[in-house]
Amino acid sequence: MSVADFQPVIGLEVHAQLLTRSKIFCGCSTEFGARPNAHTCAVCLGMPGALPVLNEKVVEYAVRVGRALECRINPVSIWARKNYFYPDLPKGYQISQYDQPLCEHGGLEIDGEDGPRRIRILRIHLEEDAGKNVHDPGGGDSLVDLNRSGVPLVEIVSEPDLRSSSEAAEYLKALRDVLVYLGVNDGNLEEGSFRCDANVSVMRKGSTQYGTRVELKNINSFRFVQKAIDYEIGRQVELIESGGKVTLETRLFDPVRGETRSMRSKEEAHDYRYFPEPDLPPLRIPAGFVERIERELPELPRAKLHRFTASYGLPAYDAKILVGDRPLADLFEQVQAVYRGPAKKLSNWFLGELLRLMKEEVREVGALRFSPAQFAALLQMVDSGELSNNAAKDVFAEMFRTGRDPREIAQEKGLLQTQDTGAVGAAVDAVLAANPGEVEKYRAGKKQVFGFLVGQVMKAMKGKGNPALVNAALKTKLGD
Amino acid sequence: MGPTDLSMLELGRKLGSGELSSVEAVRACLARVDRLDGRVKAFLRVDREGALAQAEAADRRRTKGKRAGPLDGVPVGLKDLFLTEGLPTTAGSRSLESFVAPYDGTAVKLLRAAGTPILGKLNMDEFAMGSSTENSAFFPTRNPWNLETSPGGSSGGSAAAVAARMVFGALGTDTGGSIRQPAALTGTVGLKPTYGRVSRFGVVAFASSLDQVGPMTRDVPDCAALLQTIAVYDPADSTSAPVKAPDYLAEIEGGVKGMKLGLPREYLELPGMDPEVRAAVEAATRALEKMGAQLVPVSLPHTKYALATYYLIAPAEASSNLARYDGVRYGLRVEGKNLLAMYGRTRDQGFGLEVKRRIMLGTYALSAGYYDAYYLKAQKVRTLIKQDFVDAFRTVDAVISPTSPTAAFRIGEKVSDPLAMYLNDVFTLPCNLAGLPGLSLPCGLTRGNLPIGLQILGKPWDEARVLRIARAFEREHDFHRRSPPLGAA
């Protein structure tokens, strides 16, 4: 027996920050990186007598997520208190949702190992984030920073539909893309605005009875998700094969050692004593609210991917890269709308020159200095023969740097290829006259010489000769 | 007759005419506090400088012709769970002994806007848990009518201060009777408004779904005027209702003629009712009948479950509301060798016995495996109790009952028997569970010269009618004008 004889069963719980400007239950800013406790008030500090007031924007964002993930939006959902003691939790309870969440029963299509699969989503609920404990590295006091306290989160819980660590990673990426497309999350795992816990179990292949699950915490990058799950699958299989039993517990992933270790057992598990939050009335979604949000939903990554391959005829590889960054995909469509040439040609420019230069300098599409029309004009100059491909790269680099017009740059740099048949004819005549031996060889049947002659003409024209015109003139003069 | 014998509205009129100044009124209150509070012990803190400064400001407004309203310049007191910027707010607890409020709660802001100088903070059962003010972490308050007895609770300091004429009116809070029961025991008027009528923002929470702020005064018109000041929709409290308050004084003198008043059968069958209380309440109902009201027997069949229901829901919410007193950010902190020890020691030393008892009750009721049997079932019974009132109010305009089964009891008499103490609230609890307005006013005295309270319960948002019924009774009687025997001492 080995890992190959077992079927992993995985479900993910994702916590994603909603990018509202203020917190979920008070007016404090959600800005990241401020001085500790700068963004706090009586409410998010848990002062006596302070009461929560719901930020409506949060509901709008959550409904966006819910509908994008094909969930039912419950017309009435209930706020609940999750009670536990921790210094970063100022009220001693977290306001969350429990048995009546805002969204239920959705799904997300991903590229599974054997083709597209729909991963079912059990529920999505709203809650507030806790603060952060900062431990003095000098071994002194522990300090509490409550800037994050009250930052709005959605928790997105999948059904245990994932069957491998790579599917889990694929799901996580697809989910992140959707949230970023919706403009409700920045997809940043490292800064903690997108966090993931995984429930992992294994069962013998062919079995329908799920094994005992283990909850993995502290998975803070896409790479770690796969590593943590693979480690855990291996650990569980080994345990079962050596006659042991998997126990229901929470384990922490240690990214340095690449292993998981027990955090708390079932017996030590918290009893959160959930009960309906008496300080907040039930969340009621007004009639027409969901429909309005739906109308405003953007095209989602999956749909865009299909469209990019179907209507532009792009290879899946190209489409995936373009669609992976919504502004990039939008720019592609804007340029293509003006360019109207072969989409694959434009895609090559995007995946080649554009992304290369963006990596070096401007990292965001929004900060690019040139317009879609300028980009399209550059490509049209290449197609019409006015610019060689190499010259176009020079012009593009300059356009990328300055935002100046490509034609202006080409003229200034003297890169425009001449369209003047007289000038080409004169240059061809001069080259033929200067190389009588080569002309003789060509006429004797040594056709390879043709390339040499083209090169000589181009050289004489200092690279501005239009290759098509040069070829045609040479062939005529050589009597072909 | 000194200025402290005036009602709030009477004093307000004299302040308006310039016959008296607010500074004189505050000084008169302070003089009484100095003379009496050593024995009554109603105040946890007297803010002399603050009150005098606010009185001077009120007097300046008057001379400029810019009075803020009918209560501008009338000194009041606050139960010590109203957050009052710059003043200690202890909630009667060691855990908040050192806590100075960083902001004014909404009701306090409204009082300040109305111009009422805040004379000080009044004693209470710790976190409003209790019916005698003996659960204050600092000292018990005594009933001005008989210093050996309790003024009731949890707003016992507020009731005693009003009864002893140390303040003209006060704010209390009522979670299961904490305004009405002390009002009954001290011969004052206390109103618990409809849940959602007055903002809870800036009030230390006990049980969020039951807590409500209300006025405590010497007579019914004052009660209406003080309610008017604080009955304002507050977007900072999501349970505050956007329902506009009517003019509570407009029809207060309208009488009870033609009104149907319900007498709940079950209330008179409850055990432990003092015959003197029963007699006084029966006399009061007959008096109302004589004034033209029609008495109608009604049934509130789930009344017998109210106490059990209350003692699941209120402690459950309290166990969560009091989690924040953990020593991390404010209030008492007792250091320990690690985090858990710090939590344990802080909360052990910060909370008194009754608070601990209720935290344990509530934690238990919410625990996995017990939630359905206790908390959830209690919520269902709460719905039935609410429905009882909905049914009753189909045929009657208000419900009349005793406020408390007995008059004031001796200090120490019930501390060792929490169940006997809880039984004090049998008449007042259902009103909180149903979210209704309820008022207590004096309707008699026992042979031992202790006040007896009459309770009037109204339909949701119908405080105006409750006040009108109370006023009709009050106008024909003089119980509210009787003073406790303290004054002569």
Q: Is the pLDDT of residue A302 over 70?
A: yes
Q: B238 and A46 in contact by Cβ < 8 A? A: no
pLDDT band at A369 (very low <50, low <70, confident <90, very high): confident
Domains for chain B: give ranges and CATH numbers.
3-255 (3.90.1300.10)
With a pLDDT cut of 90, the percent of chain A lying above it is: 53
- The CATH number of A421-477, from 1.10.3720.10, 1.10.10.410, 3.10.180.10, 1.10.580.10, is 1.10.10.410
Q: In what order do the strands lie in the sheet with A249-254?
A: A72-73, A103-112, A115-128, A152-158, A6-17, A194-204, A214-219, A249-254, A259-265
Which residue, among B324, B335, B376, would best test binding to A if mutated, counting the most A CBs under 10 Å from its CB?
A: B324
Could you tell me which of A123, A91, A90 has the C-alpha nearest to residue A105?
A123
Question: What residues contact A213, with CB distance under 8 A and at least 6 apart?
Answer: A9, A11, A160, A199, A200, A201, A248
Question: What residues contact B162, with CB distance under 8 A and at least 6 apart?
Answer: B77, B168, B169, B170, B186, B188, B216, B217, B218
> In Å, how far is A322's CA from the nearest CA of chain B?
45
Strands B438-445 and B189-192: antiparallel
**Cβ–Cβ < 8 Å for B212, B432:** yes
Tokens of B286: 């007959």
CB atoms within 10 A of CB B201: 28
Task: Choose the most confident range, by mean pLDDT, from A12-16, A131-135, B477-481.
Answer: A12-16
Asked casually if ipTM beats, i.e. exceeds, 0.85, the reply is: yes
pLDDT at residue A257, as a whole number = 86
Q: B204 to chain A: nearest residue by CA?
A: A49
pLDDT at residue B488, as a whole number = 47
Give the largest CA-CA distance in chain A.
Answer: 102
Q: Is the pLDDT of residue A25 over 60?
A: yes
pLDDT at residue B6, as a whole number = 96
Q: Is the pLDDT of residue A91 over 70?
A: yes
Interface contact B351, partner A, CB < 8 A:
no
> pLDDT tens-digit profile of A408-453?
887 887 777 766 677 778 888 888 888 888 888 888 888 888 888 8
DSSP secondary structure of B164-202: TTSSSEEEEEESSSTTHHHHHHHT-EEEEPPTTSS--TT
Which residues in chain B have Cβ-Cβ distances shorter than 8 Å to A278?
207-209, 239, 317
Q: Which of B201, B317, B366 lies at the smallest CB-CB distance from A51?
A: B201
Could you tell me which of B93, B89, B73 has the C-alpha nearest to residue B346?
B93
Torsion of CA B123, B128, B131, B137, to 10 degrees: -50
Question: Among all chains, which residue has been given the structure tokens 């049997």?
Answer: B373
> In Å, how far is B91's CA from the nearest CA of chain A?
10
Q: B96 and A48 in contact by Cβ < 8 A? A: yes
Q: Is the pLDDT of residue A480 over 70?
A: no
Put residue B202 in one of left, alpha, beta given phi > 0 → left and psi -120 to 50 → alpha: left
> pLDDT tens-digit profile of A198-209?
999 999 998 889
**Cβ–Cβ < 8 Å for A390, A417:** no
> pLDDT tens-digit profile of A230-243?
999 999 999 999 99
Which residues in chain A have Cβ-Cβ distances shorter than 8 Å to B99?
48
pLDDT at residue A447, as a whole number = 80
Q: B320 and A275 in contact by Cβ < 8 A? A: yes
Which residues in chain A have Cβ-Cβ distances shorter than 8 Å to B371?
273-275
What's this model's pTM, rounded to 2 decimal places?
0.90
Write out the residues of chain A at the interface with chain B, using a CB-CB cutoff of 8 A: 42, 45-54, 81, 83, 85, 87, 90-93, 142, 144, 271, 273-275, 278-281
All CATH 1.10.10.410 domain ranges of chain A, comma separated, are 421-477
For each of chain B's 489 residues, which pLDDT tens digit applies? 688 999 999 999 999 999 999 999 999 999 999 999 999 999 999 999 999 999 999 999 999 999 999 999 999 999 999 999 999 999 999 999 999 999 999 999 999 999 999 999 999 999 999 999 999 999 999 999 999 999 999 999 999 999 999 999 999 999 999 999 999 999 999 999 999 999 999 999 999 999 999 999 999 999 999 999 999 999 999 999 999 999 999 999 999 999 999 999 988 777 778 999 999 999 999 999 999 999 999 999 999 899 999 999 999 999 999 999 999 999 999 999 999 999 999 999 999 999 999 999 999 999 999 999 999 999 999 999 999 999 999 999 999 999 999 999 999 988 777 777 787 888 999 999 999 999 999 999 999 999 999 999 999 999 999 999 999 999 999 988 888 987 544
**CA dist., res. B77 & res. B61, Å (int):** 21
Q: Round the CA-based radius of gyration of chain A to a whole number and report it.
A: 31
How many residues are listed for chain B in this entry?
489
Structural element, H or E, at residue A7: strand A6-17
Question: What residues contact B275, with CB distance under 8 A and at least 6 apart?
Answer: none
> In Å, how far is A276's CA from the nearest CA of chain B?
10
Q: B320 and A48 in contact by Cβ < 8 A? A: no
> In Å, how far is B180's CA from the nearest CA of chain A?
22
**Catalytic annotation, residues of B:** 79, 154, 178
Which residues in chain B have Cβ-Cβ distances shorter than 8 Å to A53?
235-238
Under 8 Å CB pairs connecting chains A and B tally to 99
Query: Where is pLDDT greater, at B94 or A114?
Result: B94
Q: A87 and B366 in contact by Cβ < 8 A? A: no
Tokens of A223: 């790479």
> pLDDT tens-digit profile of A43-88?
999 999 999 999 999 999 999 999 999 999 999 999 999 999 999 9
Interface contact B470, partner A, CB < 8 A:
no
Query: Where is pLDDT greater, at B402 or A193?
Result: B402
- Expressed in angstroms, the distance from the first to the final Cα of chain B is 16
> pLDDT tens-digit profile of B158-186?
999 999 999 999 999 999 999 999 999 99
**Helical axes A406-413 vs A372-383, angle rounded to 10°:** 50
Which residue, among B328, B360, B432, would best test binding to A if mutated, counting the most A CBs under 10 Å from its CB?
A: B328
- C-alpha of B440 from chain center: 10
pLDDT at residue B489, as a whole number = 40
Q: B367 to chain A: nearest residue by CA?
A: A273
